[in-house]
Structure formats: structure tokens, C-alpha cells
Amino acid sequence: MEVANRNDEFLPRSFDINEMRRAVNLYESLYPILLSLGQLHELLEDTYYVAGNEAYASARVVYQSAKTHGRGIGIDTVVEELGTRFSRKSRKS
């Protein structure tokens, strides 16, 4: 911007220095907003994963309770479906 302001004799006639100034000002004014949004995105993402972990942990409690105490009350099929979702896969050595 400084070079263009001080030495405009080498620029093409069609070059609009005011357009450049507007673009630079917009760029500079957007930067703090971009930083804030980046921080907000990170916090939102962290909260999203924590909520997902808590929901999964709650679902495991529901499954364990249904598996232990829900037999014979008409939810056997659901318990079996949940079992496929929450089954632990054995580790191969």
C-alpha cells in the first residue's frame, strides 16, 4: 500500500488505488473477527465432543440396565440391537 501511495507513476492507468485501499482496510478489519470466530469454533467443537461423550456414556448405562433388568418386558430385540452397537471387540495380539 505504501509503495503504491508514494510511487504511483509506474502503475497502470487502470489501477485503482482507492480500490486497493478499500481491500486492505477490509482485510485488516476482518482479521480480528476471523480470530474470534476461530476461538469460538474451537470452544464449540470442544463442547460438541464433550456432549457426545456424555451422551455415549449415558447410552451405555441405559444399555447395561436394559441388559441386566430388561429381560422379559418386551425389549429383548432392542437390547440385542444395542448389544451390536456396544459390543466390545477383542484385541488381537
Nine-digit cell string for 31: 482479521
Q: Which of the pair, 50 or 9, is modelled with greater confidence?
A: 50
The pLDDT value recorded for residue 89 is 66
The pLDDT value recorded for residue 32 is 97
Q: How many CB atoms lie within 10 A of CB 41?
A: 10
The pLDDT value recorded for residue 91 is 64
Nine-digit cell string for 49: 465432543
The pLDDT value recorded for residue 90 is 59
- Our separate counts of H helices and E strands in the chain read 3, 0
Q: How far apart are the first and last CA of the chain?
A: 63
Q: What is the pLDDT of residues 23-73, one digit of tens each?
A: 999 999 999 999 999 999 999 999 999 999 999 999 999 888 888 887 778
The band of 92, judged by pLDDT with boundaries at 50, 70 and 90, is low
